[in-house]
């Protein structure tokens, strides 16, 4: 059974770059059967999809965050990473990594999630 | 961007009773809707995809229905562990994938 685990700093200063890594175990990112996403949830609020990456390096981002987001993959380490630049307090959230399953020719849903990492933006 | 609107925001139901949660899309998303359950302090858990398909391991008391713009998650006989927040998600038109704002199911 696949497991995902987020790691990275829990505190980031305003205007700096948030960086998180998701380590995948129990399955290979390179299998090609899945896409790999980042999703966030501000405290007490709902879920916001940030973007995804395929093992080839192909990405797609939420247009609302596109100018600040970079998602990358390291297949040798079975990891994928998130970088979010120029952060403000509004970026304070629990950040989840998740495995996306494609439903035919449509988009996808998320069948496996990491436990989440709280990142606080504060000076 | 497709907006998913869930109602009600909070639903109070007694254990053993039936609960129906609604999700409306701002435009048709066919049957490309998933439902998730989130317990406090935990990651969401997939309950339904394709509007009505349960993944392996999800109890049969959870069922989904709908197509187009109107969707419903039904829990046939509430157990104590079902009191949580539920989210719908559309994956028909992206980017972005979008979620509803959630329905909190609480014990009456």
**pLDDT tens digits along A43-71:** 999 999 999 999 999 999 999 999 999 99
**CA–CA separation, A114 vs A98, rounded Å?**
6
Decide: residue B100, CB within 10 A, 0-12 exposed, 13-18 middle, 19+ buried: buried
pLDDT tens column, B2-51: 999 999 999 999 999 999 999 999 999 999 999 999 999 999 999 999 99
Average pLDDT over chain B reads 97
Q: Does B6 touch chain A (CB under 8 A)?
A: no
Return the pLDDT at A105.
81
Return the pLDDT at A111.
97
Return the pLDDT at B22.
98
Residue A91, helix vs strand vs coil: helix
- A33: pLDDT strictly greater than 90: no
- Tell me the chain A residues in contact with residue B43 when contact means C-beta distances shorter than 8 Å: 96, 113-116
**CA–CA separation, B16 vs B56, rounded Å?**
23
Q: Does A49 touch chain B (CB under 8 A)?
A: yes
Partners of residue B6 on adjacent β-strands: B23
**CA–CA separation, B65 vs B73, rounded Å?**
7
**CA–CA separation, B99 vs B35, rounded Å?**
9
Return the pLDDT at A106.
83
- Tell me the chain A residues in contact with residue B87 when contact means C-beta distances shorter than 8 Å: 46-47
Average pLDDT over chain A reads 96
**Is the previous residue joined to A87 through a cis bond, with omega within 30 degrees of 0?**
no
pLDDT tens column, A90-112: 999 999 999 999 988 889 999 99
Instruction: Tell if the CB–CB gap between B87 and A47 is shorter than 8 Å.
Output: yes
**CA–CA separation, A86 vs A122, rounded Å?**
12
Question: Cα B97 vs. chain centroid, distance in angstroms?
Answer: 15
Query: Taking a C-beta distance cutoff of 8 angstroms, is the pair B7, B24 a contact?
Result: yes
pLDDT tens column, B51-86: 999 999 999 999 999 999 999 999 999 999 999 999
Q: Which two tokens stand for residue B29?
A: 């998303």
Q: Does A61 touch chain B (CB under 8 A)?
A: yes
Query: Taking a C-beta distance cutoff of 8 angstroms, is the pair B54, A70 a contact?
Result: no
Q: For the residues A11-36, what does the mean pLDDT come to? A: 95
Return the pLDDT at B81.
95
């Amino acid at each position: 059974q696949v497991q995902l685990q987020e790691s990275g700093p829990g505190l980031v200063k305003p205007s700096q770059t948030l960086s998180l890594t998701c380590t995948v175990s129990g399955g290979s990112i390179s299998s090609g059967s899945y896409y790999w996403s980042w999703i966030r949830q501000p405290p007490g609020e709902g879920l916001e999809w940030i973007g995804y990456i395929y093992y080839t390096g192909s990405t797609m981002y939420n247009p609302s965050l596109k100018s600040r987001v970079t998602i990358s993959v390291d297949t040798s380490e079975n990891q994928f990473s998130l970088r979010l630049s120029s952060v403000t307090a509004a970026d304070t959230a629990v950040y989840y990594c998740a495995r996306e399953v494609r439903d035919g020719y449509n988009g996808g849903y998320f069948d496996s999630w990491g436990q989440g990492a709280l990142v606080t933006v504060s000076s | 961007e497709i907006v998913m609107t869930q109602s009600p925001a909070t639903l109070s139901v007694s254990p053993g009773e039936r609960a129906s949660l609604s999700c409306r899309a701002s435009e048709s998303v066919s049957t490309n809707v998933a439902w998730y359950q989130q317990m406090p302090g935990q990651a969401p858990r997939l309950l339904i995809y394709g509007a009505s398909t349960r993944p392996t391991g999800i109890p049969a008391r959870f069922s989904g229905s709908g197509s187009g713009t109107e969707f419903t998650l039904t829990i046939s006989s509430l157990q104590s562990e079902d009191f949580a927040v539920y989210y719908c998600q559309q994956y028909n038109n992206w980017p972005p994938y979008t979620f509803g704002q959630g329905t909190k199911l609480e014990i009456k």
